[in-house]
């Protein structure tokens, strides 16, 4: 597996590689610290899962604010709001 950017997909692949003791390929792009972890791998994955749950709750909270304040005709269906709230805007003719 090659990690290209941080995402939920990469996180799942990383967990899978760890579980099956598979290798992970990495092309250095200056954002990933390759030194050892200060916590166990199990604690690391637990911390990441917890952070993801907190982020999901925060996104849901914000999306509820947008949904309550914006007219329904500009809102896209719920499945389009995974990491940000999306709206339809009229074409200004340009």
Q: Note the pLDDT of residue 11.
A: 63
Can you list the pairs that 26-29 forms with residues at least 24 positions away whose Cβ atoms lie under 8 Å? Answer: 26/2, 27/2
Whether the pLDDT of residue 2 is over 90: the answer is no
Whether the pLDDT of residue 25 is over 70: the answer is no
Q: Note the pLDDT of residue 20.
A: 67
Contacts of 75 (CB under 8 A, 6+ apart): 66, 67, 85, 86, 87, 88
Domain ranges of the chain: 1-35, 36-73
Token output for 60: 């849901």
User: CA torsion, points 40, 45, 50, 54, in degrees to nearest 10?
Assistant: 130
Average pLDDT over every residue of 61-90 = 89
pTM of the full structure = 0.57
pLDDT tens for residues 32-58? 776 777 888 888 889 989 999 999 899
């Amino acid at each position: 597996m090659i990690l290209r950017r941080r995402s939920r997909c990469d996180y799942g692949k990383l967990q899978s590689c760890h579980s099956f003791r598979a290798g992970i390929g990495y092309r250095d792009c200056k954002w990933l610290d390759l030194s050892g972890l200060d916590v166990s791998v199990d604690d690391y994955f637990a911390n990441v899962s917890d952070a993801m749950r907190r982020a999901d709750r925060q996104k849901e909270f914000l999306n509820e604010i947008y949904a309550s304040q914006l007219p329904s005709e500009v809102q896209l269906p719920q499945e389009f709001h995974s990491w940000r709230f999306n709206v339809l805007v009229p074409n200004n003719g340009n």
